[in-house]
């Protein structure tokens, strides 16, 4: 049942839908379809003028519904396998711009977290926010040692708003799965569950700070990427303090050219850096839109450098997924579609009973039109999208980390081609992938694996002789028994037993027939020894023939 607050929220949602001419959505659902005629009786529909396109109206509805629904729309904009392309592209325009809350309130939240007056921690705190988003807003400050920092503060009461709106979203998703065939197929409850995890992670600024520290450690020796330092002493669950950075927004192409930045190098270095995160570290920034990337222009002999901010959404791939992703990528470059289909089955991304040949033909139909052009003109994001759409027909389960990877790849590719239209993302990505494959599966991989496992082997080596002797003694004494529980194994065992029985019967029967033939053939040589041989041979031959027939029919 809904709480009073959720009921009020439902009425507010209905008012917003009516305002944008979307009330037909409610009356088109299974529950209200029998009374759909009410739509024509409602006064505001009598003089309804022309509306914008449905996808535009949907975007405006989400904007009016507030931060939780805006973030949901942003998430759905990456799910072109889930929504129509028109709606997904419109949702991509959603901006996470929310009116700021008062700086006095931000000061009060920080002081409550620290348990002291703000002047004891900061030399200066600027109440005017630098930026404001749906989950938190950012202020600038100066520490007592003179260092400039930014302070990220979680919005007051946002956790209650998220909980209320998630409850409504779960209800709507459940009803869609209950009453709609498309709902049962698309499983919107899984999307809401994925969305809930994303929001929960973003609410915990300690988690975001840990993400930033890990990424900074991964690239501490890099001359290409810089990650701001976290001030752990002043970081709490609702407050995060980081080093303040400066740079040119990556979307400001004119300013980058004026600062002397090589845009070709920038685009290729950005792609290679991202794939290094994915394959070398298995820990990548999954929210790399232009607002989160700044460029430090070159100074003297120092090259330009990327700086990332906002580490609330990070993701990783298991070594298993890394391997299959890299092999898929290289198989695509070689146009080996059979190998691509086999890898999807081997990795468990599609069910084990999927026919590889059918899947291969489907992949070929998707890829051949794309690959009939120069490689640099092929959109990596478009290829992934079409593959996901194809694989869904074969009941592919698209894992959240793969969706985040696809979303980030689309952002990186779009940004890279804005900077340098001739960018060949495939070639830029090939180097880190081949390096990873070499390190994991070549001689280097074997050496690295042996070096990592050697201490464990040495630790267990002294126990090995005793364990070996113990197993041999238990086998000798009959204390170890092998038991097959699998139904397939039981069937195989019965087949072997039956086959053995048939072979024995057939051999004995054949022996009878041969014996009968010999006795019959020797008749007349020794009447004393072979008296009644014709009768005996007839009996033996008949018995043998019967046994062979039984064996063949068994």
Q: Catalytic amino acids?
A: 287
- pLDDT at position 539 is 46
- The alpha carbon of residue 520 and the mean position of all alpha carbons in its chain are separated, in whole angstroms, by 79
DSSP labels, 39-89: GGTSGGGTT------HHHHHHHHHHHH-HHHHHHHHHHTT-TTTS-HHHHH
pLDDT at 241 over 70: yes
Least confident of 105-119, 186-200, 224-238: 186-200
Please calculate the CA angle 550-551-554 and round it to the nearest 5 degrees. 80
Task: Say how far apart CA 314 and CA 331 lie, in whole Å.
Answer: 27
Task: Say how far apart CA 387 and CA 403 lie, in whole Å.
Answer: 12
The answer to whether the CB of 339 falls within 8 A of the CB of 239 is no
Q: Is 6 helix (H, G, I), strand (E, B) or coil?
A: helix
- pLDDT at position 550 is 46
pLDDT, greater one: 151 or 547: 151
- 125-149, pLDDT tens digit by residue? 999 999 888 889 999 999 999 999 9
For residue 122, CA distances in Å to 145, 205, 255 come to 9, 19, 33
Q: Which residues pair with 305 in a beta bridge?
A: 296
pLDDT at 540 over 60: no
Residue 237: Cβ within 10 Å count: 13
Q: What percent of the chain has pLDDT over 70?
A: 72
Residue 110: Cβ within 10 Å count: 23
- 414-462, pLDDT tens digit by residue? 888 888 888 877 777 777 777 777 776 656 555 555 566 666 666 677 7
Order of strands, sheet of 248-249, starting from the edge strand that comes earlier in the sequence: 225-226, 305-308, 293-296, 248-249
- 275-316, pLDDT tens digit by residue? 889 888 889 998 888 888 999 988 777 888 999 999 988 988
Average predicted confidence (pLDDT) for the chain: 77
The answer to whether the CB of 413 falls within 8 A of the CB of 379 is yes
Q: Which two tokens stand for residue 95?
A: 């901006």
The answer to whether the CB of 152 falls within 8 A of the CB of 242 is yes
Q: Which helix (H) or strand (E) holds 275?
A: helix 263-276
């Amino acid at each position: 049942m809904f709480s009073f607050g959720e009921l009020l929220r439902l009425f507010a949602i209905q008012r917003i839908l009516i305002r944008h001419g979307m009330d037909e959505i409610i009356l088109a659902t299974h529950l209200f379809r029998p009374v759909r005629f009410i739509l024509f009786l409602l006064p505001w529909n009598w003089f309804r003028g022309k509306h914008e396109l449905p996808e535009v109206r949907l975007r405006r509805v989400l904007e009016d519904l507030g931060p939780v629904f805006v973030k949901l729309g942003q998430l759905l904009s990456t799910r072109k396998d889930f929504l129509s392309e028109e709606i997904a592209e419109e949702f991509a325009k959603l901006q996470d711009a929310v009116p700021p809350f008062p700086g006095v309130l931000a000061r009060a939240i920080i002081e409550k977290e620290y348990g002291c007056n703000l002047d004891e921690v900061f030399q200066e705190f600027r109440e005017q926010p630098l930026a404001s988003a749906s989950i938190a807003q950012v202020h600038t400050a100066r520490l007592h040692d003179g260092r400039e920092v930014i302070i990220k503060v979680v919005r007051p009461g946002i956790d209650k708003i998220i909980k209320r709106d998630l409850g409504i979203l779960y209800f709507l998703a459940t009803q869609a799965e209950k009453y709609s065939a498309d709902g049962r197929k698309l499983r919107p409850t899984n999307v809401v569950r994925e969305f809930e995890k994303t929001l929960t992670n973003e609410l915990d600024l300690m988690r975001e700070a840990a993400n930033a520290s890990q990424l900074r450690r991964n690239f501490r020796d890099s001359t290409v990427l810089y990650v701001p330092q976290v001030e752990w002493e002043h970081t709490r669950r609702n407050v995060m303090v980081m080093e303040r950075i400066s740079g040119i927004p990556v979307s400001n192409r004119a300013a980058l050219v004026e600062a002397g930045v090589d845009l070709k190098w920038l685009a290729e270095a950005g792609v290679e850096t991202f794939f290094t995160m994915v394959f070398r570290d298995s820990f990548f920034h999954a929210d790399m839109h232009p607002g989160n990337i700044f460029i430090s222009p070159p100074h003297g002999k120092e090259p330009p450098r990327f700086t990332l901010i906002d580490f609330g959404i990070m993701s990783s791939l298991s070594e298993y997924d890394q391997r299959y992703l890299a092999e898929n990528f290289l198989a695509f470059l070689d146009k080996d579609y059979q190998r691509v289909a086999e890898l999807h089955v081997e990795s468990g991304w599609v069910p084990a009973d999927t026919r590889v040949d059918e899947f291969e033909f489907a992949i070929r139909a998707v890829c051949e039109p794309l690959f009939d052009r120069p490689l640099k003109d092929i959109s990596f994001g478009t290829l992934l999208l079409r593959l996901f759409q194809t694989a869904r027909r074969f009941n592919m389960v698209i894992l959240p980390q793969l969706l985040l990877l696809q979303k980030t790849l689309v952002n990186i590719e779009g940004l890279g081609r804005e900077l340098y239209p001739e960018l060949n993302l495939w070639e830029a990505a090939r180097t880190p992938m081949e390096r990873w494959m070499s390190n994991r599966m070549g001689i280097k991989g074997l050496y690295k694996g042996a070096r990592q496992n050697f201490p464990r082997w040495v630790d267990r080596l002294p126990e090995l002789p005793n364990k070996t002797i113990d197993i041999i003694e238990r086998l000798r004494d009959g204390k170890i028994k092998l038991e097959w529980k699998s139904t397939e194994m039981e069937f195989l065992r019965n087949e072997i037993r039956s086959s053995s029985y048939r072979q024995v019967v057939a051999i004995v029967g054949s022996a009878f027939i041969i014996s009968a033939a010999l006795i019959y053939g020797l008749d007349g040589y020794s009447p004393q020894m072979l008296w009644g041989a014709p009768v005996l041979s007839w009996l033996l031959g008949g018995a043998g023939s019967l046994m062979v027939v039984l064996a063949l029919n068994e």
